[in-house]
Amino acid sequence: MQIKKASTSSKDESQLACSAAAKADGAACPAVPSQPASAGSEPRRYTYRDCLNGTAPIPTDALGNAIFTLLMAGGMATFMVSFNGIRHSGLSFFFESHWLYPVIFCIAMALRFLYVNRVVAHVGPRYVFPRFTGARRNVAMTLLNVAIMAPVMGTLVTMLLKGPDDLLLNLVTEVPLSMLMSIGVSLLVVGPAVKLLYHNVIRPTTSLRLCQLSQRFVTNWAGLFTG
């Protein structure tokens, strides 16, 4: 009886500690499971609404974050280059300046890994997470990312499409519109699409393959020692 009480007390203390830490950094605290999950249980499938209200999380592990960043950068580069290219050149942009897609994608990825991810990781937990939750946090983080990325990307795209002549005037007229478009596309189109693709398709497939590789590795090594 005393052992059972001690175990229960230990679980309560760990849960309280986790709750305190979660309040400090804005993360969610996982509940202590009452019983182990069944081996055949499937991962949760998220919906578009889950992506908007902040229920669908952004991956925090290194591999998941890299995949998520690649998909987000690719989606945003595709939409924004198409938007600005059609505005400036019409449909002929797809035939004459399609080389701009890989260029902008590479620049976006370089910016993300050089400084944008670091700034977001520094500002988000300190100023956004403690003040906002759910859909409001989702909007706030979108605004933060756009505020960091859009001015630089808008300047580069404007220079590539219009050249350096009258650059300041072009930026005054082009960057605000690009930022508004980026917010809408990121919040309502690319962001939800990437989250749905990652959580409902990529993550379950990746987890299954890793599990299968682990099983093969363990089985092979077990066979070496057991004959």
Quick: pLDDT tens for 159-198: 888 888 888 888 888 889 989 999 999 999 999 999 999 9
Q: If you ran DSSP here, which 8-state letter would residue 92 be given?
A: G
27 lies in a domain? no
| Most trustworthy range by pLDDT among 5-9, 11-15, 175-179 | 175-179
Whole-angstrom distance, CA of residue 122 vs CA of residue 137: 15
194 lies in a domain? yes
Total number of domains constituting the chain: 1
Domain of 125?
Answer: 58-210
Helices and strands in the chain, H and E counts: 10, 0
Q: If you ran DSSP here, which 8-state letter would residue 227 be given?
A: -
Judged against a pLDDT cut of 50, whether residue 213 lies above it is answered with yes
Whole-angstrom distance, CA of residue 157 vs CA of residue 99: 12
State the chain's mean pLDDT as an integer: 78
Please enumerate in sequence order all residues whose Cβ is within 8 A of that of 86, keeping only pairs 6 or more positions apart, or say none.
93
Report the pLDDT averaged over residues 109-131. Answer: 93
110 lies in a domain? yes
42 lies in a domain? no
Judged against a pLDDT cut of 50, whether residue 7 lies above it is answered with no
pLDDT at 155: 87
Q: Which residue has the higher pLDDT, 48 or 31?
A: 48
Question: Cα separations (Å) of 37 from 41, 42, 56?
Answer: 7, 10, 21
CA 117 to chain centre: 10
28 lies in a domain? no
Whole-angstrom distance, CA of residue 26 vs CA of residue 195: 20
Whole-angstrom distance, CA of residue 98 vs CA of residue 94: 5
pLDDT at 102: 92
132 lies in a domain? yes
Judged against a pLDDT cut of 90, whether residue 139 lies above it is answered with yes
pLDDT at 124: 93
218 pLDDT band (50/70/90 cuts)? low
83 lies in a domain? yes
96 lies in a domain? yes
What is the H or E stretch that residue 50 is in?
helix 48-52
Judged against a pLDDT cut of 70, whether residue 51 lies above it is answered with yes
Q: Work out the angle at residue 172's Cα, subtended by the Cα atoms of residues 189 and 177, and round it to the nearest 5 degrees.
A: 20
CB atoms within 10 A of CB 54: 18
Whole-angstrom distance, CA of residue 84 vs CA of residue 155: 12
Q: If you search the block for the tokens 């909007």, which residue do you land on?
A: 139
